[in-house]
Amino acid sequence: MEWNYLTQTGKRYWQYLGISFVILFIYLAYSSFTTLNELAGKPYIVAQTLISVINFFITFHVIVRGMYKAKEGKIRTIKMQVLWLLLITTITTLSYMLLDLMFMVFAPYTLEQLLATLFKDIEQPSYPILIVLSFLSYWSVMVIWVLVYVIVVSGRNYKKLKEVIEKQELKILINQINPDFLYNTMDVIKKMIDVDAEQAADVVTQASELFRYNLTASNSNTGQIEQELASLTNYLGLLKLQGRAPDKIYINLEQQEHLVELPTMTLIFMASHILKNALYPHHALSMTGNIIDGSYQIVLLHSSAKKRKLDVEYFRNIQRRLAFIFNQNAQLISIKDKTSHKLILTVPIKVQETIHPQILPSVI
């Protein structure tokens, strides 16, 4: 077993432990003054209480945490976990009692006198029963501490695991570019090489920029609006070469300096959702944006009716990533009628420190 757990603790471990031990000291001191005032003086009771708290710290910090971490994550069944916790509390309680009994060498009273005073309400108790009762009193305190420790550690581990899972899930969601789009792009490049090598080189540049942004998106969950617009322009340009883009495309995002970073590939996935579900993909597509009611709103409108059966993979992808990054402060809704399909993306605005020139409306 590695011993580095003795020094490697949580950020607030010592803070919470210190407060807990102060409370424990006050509780033990009060109990001792109440029950032992007939057997010993106040200086000894204070010293005994302090030593008992130190013994408890040694027992908890060294033995409890050591035994728990030795099997942490290795015991799978609930039954085995309960048995392991019972073993931990039993061993640590015996250790705690033994350390306390060692200090009784200096006590002005005997163990029999102590037990008789502690359990004076019990008529004619036998010595073994008094030992068992003493053990149970120590054990009950230890059980409470161990349960609190396990709950706190389990909660922290669950939070860390949840963060890891969310980061991995975000990476998976980011990389959901349609394979058909990749194959069609390669096919266009292959055909253009024999027809117009120079234009084929431009297509390769467009595609490489788009794919590079998609790959680097795995290292960053969000991207600036300039990056999103550039990748969307490359994407729509490649769709146009494949003969699958709208004939007219209009993009105008006003007051971009107030727009927070979006989940990467958001604009591409919005366009993919609309075009993939359109009866007539060649119809006009427009994207506008502005601040409305304290939030930034991006509206993507396609002047085509939707298909009867929708593919919502990209739509749900964006919704899930918005929830990861913005919680309840962002949303994506879909509005459809017989002649058009609209996506409305609403995200928070950011506090602007420096004003940058707005990007002028552009037509692809």
* pLDDT tens, position by position, 155-188: 777 777 666 666 666 566 555 555 555 666 677 6
Three-point CA angle 245, 225, 274, nearest 5°: 30
Q: Calculate the CA 259 to chain-centre distance.
A: 25
What band does 68 get if pLDDT is binned at 50, 70 and 90? confident
Q: pTM higher than 0.85, yes or no? A: no
| Distance set, CA 45 to CA 20, 99, 103, 295 (Å) | 20, 16, 12, 65
What band does 283 get if pLDDT is binned at 50, 70 and 90? very high
CB 90 within 8 A of CB 30: no
Mean pLDDT across the chain: 80
SS3 260: coil
CB 231 within 8 A of CB 251: no
CA dihedral 115, 118, 121, 125 (to 10 degrees): -20
- In this structure, is the dihedral angle defined by the CA atoms of residues 221, 225, 230 and 232, taken in order, positive or negative? positive
Backbone angles phi, psi at 286, to 5 degrees: -130, 145
What 8-state DSSP symbol labels residue 305? P
